[in-house]
């Protein structure tokens, strides 16, 4: 094997010429017609090195089989050859291990997440003196990248984006990504996007039926809202960040979504109540469920009225995967009974702000106060809530999250409707979860309404007529819109 280059450790700038190395090897000069025969005969005695053709390194260490083969075959001669490799030959990890100080190479920082053409790194303090060198190596070794950035601090608590510094490449933070059959455009420096959450986005969207109404309270640029709308759901989406709001509008157009996506720029609590009011005022009625597929005579399944979901010739709506309470009788799940309900509201609320989403759940207390007659079957008509959160309790996260939710909502969750889903590990002692549950009737119809305002704009900003910090520059510095036109 070719030994890694010997480079001066602790370099702060990258010198590509230092990685050029030449080694002397023994080779067999053979007629071209014998190439395949030799490869088969020599086997493991051939030099196996990425990006380099196979050669024999030294016949003195070759197997007896190889020596006998060379001796018997005519037209084979042994020759000396010089093999030269350069910077392009080595991987990012190999380069970094060759130039970083010896005491910090055990975990060479060659990993990153991608957002379009941007590589996003999260360097530890000990690597910061070499950050620009590291960024250059990462960009060199990944031809699809044009920009490498490093996270400078924790996520912004108000608008959910990181402060970043450019390590290498172009200072271009406008990225385009594809996920769940949708296109997303975003300014990575001013909005929140995490490519590692694509599985969670898809998981929730699969729960929604095409006829469902979905309320996305902290929507970002729309990773839940866009695919749910394209699926056919009626979606009301909101984000407090005015730049996220602008990109949601742009992504709605980019994905050719029409009237089944309404976009807002409000505080989460205000939006929950306004969305419920606006949905009712709009005269929304659930679209009729598609009729069960019918198999024609002569087709697979004989003359039966419907085929099982496994029939590959059918396209059926995906089932609702969210936990639900069992009906008390077979007739309670009948479409005709459901269609007889005069009051329609959202089927799902999504609250994807794990750092503080639980704190917003007090907005659901008394949300349907006085509507008991309009909602005769709360276990069927009240919405499912999907709330993302963090938990540092590894032994009983279900109990931890459930107790925190109940404390904020001021009531008890119905045990048979609660499900806690593990999303991912964020830190060694910090996991991200999604708790899904049916809004309990005792909370929905409560006569005492909570009015906690922990996330209102800061007084000094409110007094100036702006909800945006002075250091924050929106993509389009215009008067902040409250919602898009609902026409």
How far is residue 196's CA from residue 184's CA, in Å, rounded to a whole number? 15
Residue 60 has pLDDT above 90, yes or no: no
Average pLDDT, the chain: 79
Residue 297 has pLDDT above 90, yes or no: no
- Sheet containing strand 234-238, edge to edge, reads 261-264, 234-238, 213-216, 348-351, 384-391, 430-438, 419-427
Q: For residue 115, give the 3-state DSSP assignment.
A: strand
Token pair in block for residue 258: 């029409």
Options 3.20.20.80, 3.40.50.150, 3.40.50.300, 1.10.10.60; CATH of 198-286+312-463:
3.40.50.150
Is residue 273 very low, low, confident or very high in pLDDT (cuts 50, 70, 90)? Answer: very high
45 is in an annotated binding site: no
The structural domains of the chain, with segments of one domain joined by +, span: 21-85, 92-172, 198-286+312-463
201 is in an annotated binding site: yes
User: Can you tell me the mean pLDDT for 241-258?
Assistant: 96
CATH number of 92-172: 3.30.300.110
How far is residue 402's CA from residue 435's CA, in Å, rounded to a whole number? 8
Is 76 within 8 Å of 70 (Cβ atoms)? yes
What is the pLDDT at residue 12? 82
Residue 204 has pLDDT above 50, yes or no: yes
Is 264 within 8 Å of 482 (Cβ atoms)? yes
Is 23 within 8 Å of 83 (Cβ atoms)? yes
Token pair in block for residue 78: 């042994």
For residue 422, CA distances in Å to 50, 196, 297, 349, 430 come to 39, 14, 46, 18, 11
* pTM of the entire predicted model: 0.72
What is the pLDDT at residue 377? 92
Stated as kind and residue range, the H or E segment containing 404 is helix 397-409
267 is in an annotated binding site: yes
Place of tokens 């929950």: 272
For residue 4, CA distances in Å to 85, 102, 137, 193 come to 10, 14, 16, 37
Q: Which is more confidently placed, 360 or 33?
A: 360
58 is in an annotated binding site: no
Is residue 89 very low, low, confident or very high in pLDDT (cuts 50, 70, 90)? Answer: confident
Predicted confidence (pLDDT) per residue in 162-197, tens digit: 678 999 999 999 999 999 999 999 999 999 888 889
Predicted confidence (pLDDT) per residue in 361-378, tens digit: 999 999 999 999 999 999
Is 260 within 8 Å of 225 (Cβ atoms)? no
352 is in an annotated binding site: yes
């Amino acid at each position: 094997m070719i030994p890694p280059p010997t480079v001066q450790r602790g370099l702060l700038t990258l010198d590509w010429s230092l990685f050029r190395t030449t080694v002397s090897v023994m080779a067999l000069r053979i007629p071209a017609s014998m190439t395949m025969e030799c490869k088969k005969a020599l086997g493991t005695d051939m030099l196996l090195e990425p990006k380099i053709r196979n050669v024999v390194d030294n016949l003195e260490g070759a197997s007896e089989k190889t020596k006998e083969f060379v001796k018997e075959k005519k037209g084979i001669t042994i020759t000396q050859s010089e093999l030269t490799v350069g910077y392009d030959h080595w991987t990012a990890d190999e380069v970094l291990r060759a130039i970083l100080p010896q005491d910090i190479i055990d975990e060479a920082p060659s990993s990153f997440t991608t957002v379009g053409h941007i590589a996003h790194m999260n360097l530890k303090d000990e690597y910061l003196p070499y950050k620009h060198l590291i960024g250059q190596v990462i960009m060199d070794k990944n031809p699809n990248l044009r920009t490498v950035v490093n996270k400078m601090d924790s996520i912004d608590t108000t608008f959910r984006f990181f402060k970043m510094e450019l390590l290498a490449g172009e200072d271009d933070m406008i990225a385009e990504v594809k996920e769940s059959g949708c296109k997303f455009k975003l300014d990575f420096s001013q909005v929140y996007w995490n490519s590692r959450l694509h599985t969670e986005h898809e998981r929730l969207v699969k729960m929604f039926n095409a006829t469902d109404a979905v309320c996305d309270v902290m929507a970002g640029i729309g990773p839940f809202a866009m695919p749910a709308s394209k699926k056919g759901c009626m979606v009301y989406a909101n984000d407090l960040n005015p730049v996220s709001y602008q990109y949601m509008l742009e992504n709605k157009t980019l994905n050719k979504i029409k009237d089944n996506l309404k976009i807002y720029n409000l505080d989460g609590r205000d939006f929950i109540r306004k969305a419920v009011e606006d949905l009712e005022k709009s005269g929304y009625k659930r679209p009729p469920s598609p009729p069960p597929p019918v198999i024609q005579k002569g087709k697979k399944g004989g003359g039966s009225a419907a085929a099982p979901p496994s029939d590959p010739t059918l396209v059926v709506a995906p089932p609702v995967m969210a936990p639900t309470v069992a009906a008390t009788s077979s007739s309670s799940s009948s479409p005709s009974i459901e269609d007889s309900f005069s009051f329609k509201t959202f089927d799902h609320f999504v609250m994807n702000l794990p750092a503080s989403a639980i704190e917003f759940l007090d907005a659901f207390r008394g949300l349907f106060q006085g509507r008991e007659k309009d909602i005769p079957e709360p276990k069927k008509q009240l919405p499912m809530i999907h709330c993302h959160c963090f938990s540092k309790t590894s032994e009983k996260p279900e109990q931890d999250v459930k107790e925190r939710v109940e404390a904020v909502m001021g009531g008890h969750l119905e045990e048979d409707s609660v499900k806690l889903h593990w999303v991912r590990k964020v830190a060694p002692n910090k996991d991200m979860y999604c708790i899904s549950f049916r809004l309990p009737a005792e909370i929905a119809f409560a006569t005492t309404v909570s009015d906690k305002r922990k996330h209102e704009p800061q007084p000094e900003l409110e007094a100036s007529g702006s909800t945006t910090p002075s250091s924050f520059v929106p993509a389009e510095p215009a008067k902040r819109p409250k919602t898009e036109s609902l026409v």
